[in-house]
């Protein structure tokens, strides 16, 4: 059973902010929200993660709603190189690792 | 620069052959993972290992086995390859207790 729901595809104009939504209405208290992306023909790449507070790093920002049932990944100034499939994953620590279940993700196309 | 390498980028094998896929990481990570990726199904976890000689089944372990004799190396073994094991195989590693997984470039295996 999928723990997250994402739109299958989105477009974004180059230079604009890309806002990728994710619903995770059944998230448990100890589950983190992780975002990865996969550029064509490459392995997935970690972007960011959070528990309940908003997070920002050099790649993106993660906004998690107060009830933690949804989140948004923000790429502040999308470039053509950001065209990829973006995966939203919820996971808790189990046996020393976070097992990541990748769904179908959102295919983001950045348009020139 | 952190690195996860996989022994082959492309591999073609015949039905019934024994196949070894090798993965090496240079980050001294405790956890290592094997996934397969198929169109429409996303990434699915086959096996993972949280220490040398330790292994845990993932979501789809049938038809596969693994070996971890050294911390940096995690091997996926197809004892008798079948055509339904034609897929992209991705290896990843992470520190224990950390959900940031680093992925290799993948091996595209074709079983004829």
Residues A27-42 have a mean pLDDT of 92
Is the pLDDT reported for residue B1 higher than 80?
A: no
Q: Which residue does chain B place closest to A42, by CA atoms?
A: B105
Q: CA A18 to CA A109: how far, in whole Å?
A: 10
The whole-number pLDDT of residue A35 equals 97
Interval B39-96: pLDDT, tens:
888 899 999 999 998 999 999 999 999 999 999 999 999 999 999 999 999 999 999 8
pLDDT value of residue A99: 82
In B1-112, at which residue ranges do the beta strands (DSSP E only) sit? 4-6, 10-13, 19-25, 31-38, 42-49, 56-57, 65-70, 73-78, 87-94, 102-103, 107-111
Question: What's the pLDDT score for residue A103?
Answer: 87
Provide the shortest C-alpha distance from residue A43 to chain B (in Å). Answer: 5
pLDDT tens sequence across A55-95: 999 999 999 999 999 999 999 999 999 999 999 999 888 77
Does residue A1 surpass a pLDDT of 70?
no
Alpha carbon distance, N-terminus to C-terminus of chain A = 36
Q: What is the largest distance, in Å, between two alpha-carbon atoms of chain B?
A: 39
* Interface membership of B69 toward A (CB under 8 Å): no
| Burial of residue B77, with CB atoms counted within 10 A of its CB: 0-12 exposed, 13-18 middle, 19 or more buried | middle
Which among B48, B104, B106 has CB closest to A97?
Answer: B48
Cα distances (Å, whole numbers) of residue B101 to A9, A35, A60, A83, B12: 24, 11, 17, 21, 27
Closest-CA distance of chain A to residue B82, Å = 23
Instruction: Band the pLDDT of A2: cuts 50, 70, 90.
Output: low
Of B90, B89, B99, nearest in space to B31 by CA: B99
Minimal C-alpha gap between A17 and chain B (Å): 24
pLDDT at A92: 86
Report the residue count for chain A. 112
pLDDT at B83: 97
Across the interface, do B99 and A91 touch by the CB < 8 Å criterion? Answer: yes
| Set of chain A residues whose Cβ sits within 8 Å of the Cβ of B97 | 93, 96-97
How large is the average pLDDT for residues A35-53? 93
Q: What is the mean pLDDT of chain A?
A: 93
Number of helices (H) and strands (E), helices first, in chain A? 0, 11
Query: What is the model's pLDDT at position B97?
Result: 84
CB contact under 8 A, A43 and B96: no
C-alpha–C-alpha distance, residues A87 and A90, integer Å: 10
Q: Cα–Cα distance between A8 and A29 in angstroms, integer?
A: 27
Question: Over the Cα atoms of chain A, what is R_g?
Answer: 13
């Amino acid at each position: 059973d999928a723990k997250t729901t994402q739109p299958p595809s989105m477009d974004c104009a180059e230079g604009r902010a890309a806002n990728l939504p994710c619903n995770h209405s059944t998230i448990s208290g100890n589950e983190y929200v992780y975002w990865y992306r996969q550029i064509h023909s490459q392995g997935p790449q970690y972007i960011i993660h959070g528990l309940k507070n908003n997070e920002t790093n050099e790649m993106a920002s993660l906004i998690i709603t107060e009830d933690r049932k949804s989140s948004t990944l923000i790429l502040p100034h999308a470039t053509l190189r950001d065209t990829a499939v973006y995966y939203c994953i919820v996971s808790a620590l189990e046996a020393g690792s976070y097992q990541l279940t990748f769904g179908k993700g959102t295919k983001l196309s950045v348009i020139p | 620069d952190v690195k996860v390498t996989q022994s082959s980028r492309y591999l073609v094998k015949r039905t019934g052959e024994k196949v070894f896929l090798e993965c090496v990481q240079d980050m001294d990570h405790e956890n290592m993972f094997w996934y397969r990726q198929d169109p429409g199904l996303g990434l699915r976890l086959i096996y993972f290992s949280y220490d040398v000689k330790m292994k845990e089944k993932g979501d789809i372990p049938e038809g596969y086995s693994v070996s971890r004799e050294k911390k940096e190396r995690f091997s996926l073994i197809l004892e008798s390859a079948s055509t339904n094991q034609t897929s992209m195989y991705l290896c990843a590693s992470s520190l224990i207790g950390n959900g940031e997984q680093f992925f290799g470039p993948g091996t595209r295996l074709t079983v004829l």
